[in-house]
Amino acid sequence: MTLHSFIVNSFAEHFGQGNPAGVVLHRDELPETAIQLIAFDINKSETAFVRPNAGGTGYDIRWFSPIKEVPLCGHATLAASKVLYEMKNFRFITFYYRGGSIRVTHRPDHSFVMDFPLDLPLPIEAREEFCAFFPETRIEACVLGQKTGKVILCIGDEVDIENVQPDFAAMRRYKGIGDRGIGITKRDTEYDFVSRYFNPWYGVDEDPVTGSVHTVLAHYWGRRLGTDKLRAHQASHRPGDIELQIEGEIVHMAGKAKIVLGGTIEL
């Protein structure tokens, strides 16, 4: 069996920027062990496995990190959208996953708008372990995404977010609230907010640009700043930009992508 595969930089237009995701297209059911091994070999923070759905109304999608399946992934969905657009030249497309569906719209500026469920942040106490993960970083507030289980730490304005050095070894030893991923965020002068995101529990120390965590960040900052439109920047070593618009229980998440590599996998 021959599978078409791609590497795509999401939330960026250039080489060396954004979050690189794998995309694998297939029509037949693939063994679970084969899917996970392919994701391990592609070795990106997530790889999207995409195939036409049985009803002919869109595509089924699943996301895998190098070590396990993840319930939702924004940047790999954007990567899959870019690949399918170059093949199908669509205006609208729908992806179906275990938690529901994601509608994607292609815009004239060649960005893609993805509709994700908004995640409501629940205020919680910043645990002692969280402070230990980010030494010498002042934490002002802590919230937990009720759907994603991701923890967001709002840090002080005086903190240089790009130079924060997390203790990944301490993270890996920890089990509890926060082991589905932890983000840090703060206000910014150029953007509405900036962030970084870490998930060594899923084999990804730092994820360059993360769609799923912005389902929490959009609600947090939208409520805090009193707006339903936000410009976000993820300040990783491969930075990227995300446009966010809140509409009811949905967050419209927009960004661009660049295909950097295409090939085949032989099973």
Could you give the residue numbers annotated as active site? Answer: 46
What residues does 233 pair with on adjacent strands? 194, 241
And the tokens for 94?
A: 């729908």
Least Cα distance to 41 among 9, 67, 8 occurs for 67
And the tokens for 267?
A: 């099973």
C-beta contacts of 33-41 below 8 A and 24+ residues apart: 34/267, 35/62, 35/64, 36/64, 36/67, 36/68, 36/69, 38/3, 38/5, 38/64, 38/265, 39/64, 39/65, 39/66, 40/66, 40/67
d(CA 1, CA 122): 46
Q: Please report the beta strands in 72-162, taking only residues with DSSP state E, as ranges in sequence order.
A: 92-97, 100-106, 112-117, 121-123, 139-145, 151-155
And the tokens for 60?
A: 């089924």
Least Cα distance to 197 among 153, 229, 228 occurs for 153
